[in-house]
Structure formats: structure tokens, C-alpha cells
Amino acid sequence: MTSAGWISDKVVLIVGGGTGIGRAVVEQFVTEGASVGVLDRSPTAVTELNSLGSAVLAVEGDARNLADHRVAVAATVERYGRIDVLITCAGIFDYFTSLEELDENTIDSAFAEMFDINVKGSMLAVKAALPELKKTGGNVVLTISNAGFYPGGGGPLYTASKFAVRGLMLQLSSELAPHIRVNAVAPGGTVTALRGADALGMSGQQLADVPDIADLIRVTNPLNVASVPADHVWAYVYLASKERTRSVTGCVIHSDGGLESRGLVRLDAGSAAGDVTGR
């Protein structure tokens, strides 16, 4: 650890820190000098994280289960003494499954799975960590997505769930003020191990496995960037730094290649104008 880090000596609990953006955030926070507790559903990821040294304590659990969140909170406090920051990164994807494509026999289970993990998981994490965050005057950083602001970043299940996370962030930022700040990061298309929903038969799929995924992402944003998880970590570091953001709450950092800078794009221009979706 280094005393020069923006979050040196902070204690951070990260939900969904086993893979993808969450894993990159864990590794960067340790580099910045933080002690990190992690809740993740993958036993393999938990084992890997616990091999990183004394600055990381990972426990296996399901983001849909309040009791599992409480176990992670208790384990983190027992090891490190407190919680200064809560970050939620757990999420699943629908791989752009349209409403027409959704099987009527799986809509209920797919909806429940998507919202339970992407939305309820974040709400339960805050619920479980709230008593400890009150003690430290801590802060919360949720993960939204470009799909929480624009159509085309997923199908109706994923897009609706990310709009809901955005609403959750705003509501909690109001409820928990003035003592606890609540902000969010909205990553754009990222080459990552984001898995699909079990109910849609997509649990074995990962976004990084989609053919030509980097090229598909580049054409959607003005910077022509295909982000990787490490590209987003500094937004989390900034929002987690109480000393630098004590007047910031209800804020979203858009780490998406500049989607708000696209301006008007002719919808009939086809490939000449590039893909206009916000994936």
C-alpha cells in the first residue's frame, strides 16, 4: 500500500468485485492504499481475491440476499474496523434481447433476475452497510451504465434496470444527506466479462466473447474508444475520496466515450453515420 493514494487508509466494501469493472476497482483501490472487503458470488473469484494479501478480504455471497450483505459488512468491520465507502458493481446483461424476442414463459423469471441483481442488490447493499456508513460519515458509489440514460445499450430488461439504479441513486442521495453522499459511475460499452441472465439461457455468455466487440463499441461513441475495466476505475477513486468530493452528491460520472457529445445523428444514414446505439 502507499500513503500517497487518494484513498489511503480507507476501508471499502465492494459488491461484485470478482470480475470485470468490479475486479479492476478492487485492484486499483488496493494500489491507492485502501483495505477492501468484497462480496462476490463466484467461489473461484473469492479464492483469487483472498490470495492478493491482507488488504483484501473476500466472502462468497449473493447480492440478492440481505443476509449475505450483512455477512460481508460484518466480516469487513471485524477485519478492518469500519467501512468508509460502499461500492456496488454486481450486474448481469440481457444481450440486447428485444421485447418481441422475450419468451412469454421466461419474462417473469428474467425480469425478476435482472432487477433483483441489478437494482435490489444495490439497495440491499446500502441497507446492510448503512449503520457502519453512519458511524464514519461514509459514502456510496453505485454503478449505472450508459443504458441508464440512452436506449440501445441493452434490451428492455437491462435498460429498465439501469434507469432504476439511476433513480435509486438520486433517491438515496436525498434521503441520506447531509451525512452520507451517494453518487454513481455510468460506464459505456466495455470489453468485460459481464455475464448474461440465467433465465435467458445466457449465464455462460460474456460480453468480451462477442465477435468484434471492440469494433462494435468504438463506432457508438465520439472518442471511438472501446473501454476496458481499468478505464473506469479513476471515476470510482474520485467519488470515493471524501476529502475531494465533500460537496458532491447525486452526481454521475459518465465514463462512456462522450455519448452526450454525439449530437443529432441521422437515423437513416446507416453505416455511414455509425451505429447510433449507446452500447
> Domains of the chain by range and CATH?
11-259 (3.40.50.720)
Q: What is the spatial distance between Cα 152 and Cα 45, in angstroms, rounded to a whole number?
A: 30
Confidence of residue 206 (pLDDT cuts 50, 70, 90): confident
Q: What is the mean pLDDT of the chain?
A: 92
Average pLDDT over residues 175-199: 95
Q: How far apart are CA 34 and CA 84, in angstroms?
A: 10
The radius of gyration of the chain's CA atoms, rounded to the nearest angstrom, is 18
pLDDT of residue 265: 64
Checking if the pLDDT of 5 tops 60, the result is: yes
Stretch 83-111: mean pLDDT, rounded?
96
Give per-residue pLDDT as tens, 215-268: 989 999 999 999 999 999 999 999 999 999 999 999 999 999 999 998 766 545
Signed CA dihedral, 260, 265, 268, 272: sign only: negative
Residue 200 pLDDT > 80 = yes
Model confidence pLDDT, tens digit, residues 20-33: 999 999 999 999 99
Cα separation values, 16 from 125, 156, 172, 275, Å: 11, 23, 20, 30
Confidence check: pLDDT of 174 > 50 = yes
pLDDT at 110 over 90: yes
* Nearest residue to 166 (alpha-carbon basis) of 153, 182, 189, 190: 182
Average pLDDT for 148-167? 96
Give the residue numbers marked as catalytic: 158
Contact 72, 13 (CB under 8 A): yes
Quote the distance between the C-alpha of residue 129 and its chain's center.
Answer: 17
Q: How high is the pLDDT of residue 266?
A: 54
Residue 4 pLDDT greater than 70, yes or no = no
Indicate whether 162 pLDDT > 90. yes
Residues above pLDDT 90, as percent of the chain: 85
Residue 106 φ/ψ region, left for φ over 0, alpha for ψ in the -120 to 50 degree band, beta for the rest = alpha
- Give alpha helix (H) positions in the chain: 20-31, 43-50, 66-80, 107-115, 121-136, 156-175, 213-218, 233-240
Q: Is residue 37 classed as helix, strand or coil in its secondary structure?
A: strand
Between these two residues, 63 and 2, which has the higher pLDDT value?
Answer: 63
Cβ neighbors of 152 (< 8 A, separation 6 or more) are 220, 276, 277, 278, 279
pLDDT band at 58 (very low <50, low <70, confident <90, very high): very high
> Looking at the whole model, is its pTM more than 0.85?
yes
Question: 247 — alpha (psi -120 to 50), left (phi > 0) or beta?
Answer: alpha
Confirm if 46 and 18 have CB atoms less than 8 A apart: yes
Residue range 182-211: mean pLDDT, rounded: 91
As a 3-state breakdown, the chain gives helix, strand, coil percent values, each rounded to 5, of 40, 15, 45
